[in-house]
Amino acid sequence: MAPSMLASSIFLPVMALLLPFSPTIAFHTSPLTSSASSSRLYKSSSPSDSSDESISRREFNAFGFALALGLPAASMNSMYTRTPSDYPLWPLLPVGPYKRKKTIFNTVVPDSIYTLEQKFGILNVQVPIRSTIVALKGGGLFVYDPVAPTKEATAMIDDLVKKHGPVKHVVLGSVAIEHKVYAGIFSQKYPEAAVWVQPGQYAFPNDLPLEFVGFPRGTRMIPSSMDPEVYPEDWKRSGLEYATLGPFISRDGAFGETVFYHGPTKTLLVTDTVVEVSKEVPAIFADDPAPLLYHARDTVSDIVEDSEDVRQRGWMRIVLFGLFFNPKDIDVKETDVALRERRPDINPDFAGIYPWVGFLFCLQYSLSCMQVHFFIFFNCLINCIGLGGRQGCLFF
């Protein structure tokens, strides 16, 4: 067993008890200061009353135990970083594409809006996860929903820093784990930046402070309103408005999101509140189409050749899995049957297991229906958050 695998086998069970989990899977989005400013340690899931609730000795000891195992694990794993796309801290959230997180850079609006894209997912249901960077008026960068800070990704940010100035604001606009787990580590790369998080952050089963899951001291909750006394001057000067949905907190988890509207470019930035369903395969899959080929099969014994049509079929099926936990038109095999019929010689992913027989529906019809629902939902959203009537592009 490789040292990195051995370290992970020790590290993951412990971190599973401490990491914040979210009930949502992203398809592709209080007080002003956090409790970090105090000398005591406080929980972070209830912004309105977090200053009244301290961390228990059991929770503190659990964190210390995990830290004792986790730091050596991360250190051992980092020795095996081979390419700029490798992310040595991937065991913190062990999901696809695991260690190698390729990043692509896009210019959306020249000199104003940029994006970094990676992939994220489980069971080869990998979808784009995206960070948006806004060039602030007067200099500096506003980073919304950071992706994994690989050497490749931070080099892209550093190129923007040379052009527009330093990273001034790092904003986590969601409570979802797939965004939260990267935002804290990313913000440590830019210690001079102000760090803002969506209200309603939580951890399970131990509700730990933000500082215990990677965020720097001084991390602040996004202000509940654009009151001039708390509204950052950089945002106001750059035409950045925002509205917050939630947080909606239950015993099963939470949902909350802050969306931003960039007036000068008429761009709306969202995380998970709006989902785009596109027929085109996202460009991030050009580097590694394996998830597309895995899902393009109808049966476990199908052999598919890589082609544009095959990739598109695989993408449309990933869309369905990404939006629905249990699509009724998919015939799922019994566990013993799936194990008995596995074919690692045809496709080695997940030990050759392909646990469904096929897709008993018209893919094109399903995609068209989802696209219609997307536009209806979007029209409802922009009116609910007070941005109705403004024309521009939707970006997430």
How would you classify the pairing of strands 167-172 and 141-144? Answer: parallel
Helix (H) or strand (E) holding 316: helix 308-323
Diameter of the chain by CA atoms? 64
Cα dihedral 359, 365, 366, 368, rounded to 10, equals 150
Query: What is the predicted pLDDT for the residue at 45?
Result: 37
Q: What is the pTM of this model?
A: 0.74
Query: What is the predicted pLDDT for the residue at 396?
Result: 39
Query: What is the predicted pLDDT for the residue at 133?
Result: 98
At 352, is the secondary structure helix, strand, or coil?
Answer: helix
**Is 268 within 8 Å of 387 (Cβ atoms)?**
yes
Question: So what CATH class is 67-269?
Answer: alpha beta
Domain map (residue ranges) of the chain: 67-269, 282-324, 326-387
- Give the separation between CA 316 and CA 323, rounded to whole angstroms: 11
Query: What is the predicted pLDDT for the residue at 152?
Result: 97
Residue with tokens 């995380």: 271
Query: What is the predicted pLDDT for the residue at 278?
Result: 80
Beta strand ranges found along the chain (DSSP E): 104-109, 113-122, 125-135, 141-144, 167-172, 194-197, 220-221, 240-250, 253-262, 267-269, 330-332, 356-359, 393-395
- pLDDT tens string, the chain, 396 residues long: the values are 443 333 333 333 334 333 333 333 233 333 333 333 322 233 333 333 333 444 445 444 544 544 444 445 554 555 455 899 999 999 888 888 999 999 999 999 999 999 999 999 988 889 999 999 999 999 999 999 999 999 999 999 999 999 999 999 999 999 888 899 899 999 999 999 999 999 888 776 676 788 777 898 889 999 877 777 788 999 999 999 999 888 887 777 778 899 999 999 999 999 988 877 788 899 999 999 999 999 888 888 889 999 999 999 899 888 887 777 666 666 778 888 889 989 998 888 888 888 876 554 445 545 555 554 454 444 444 444 444 444 443 343
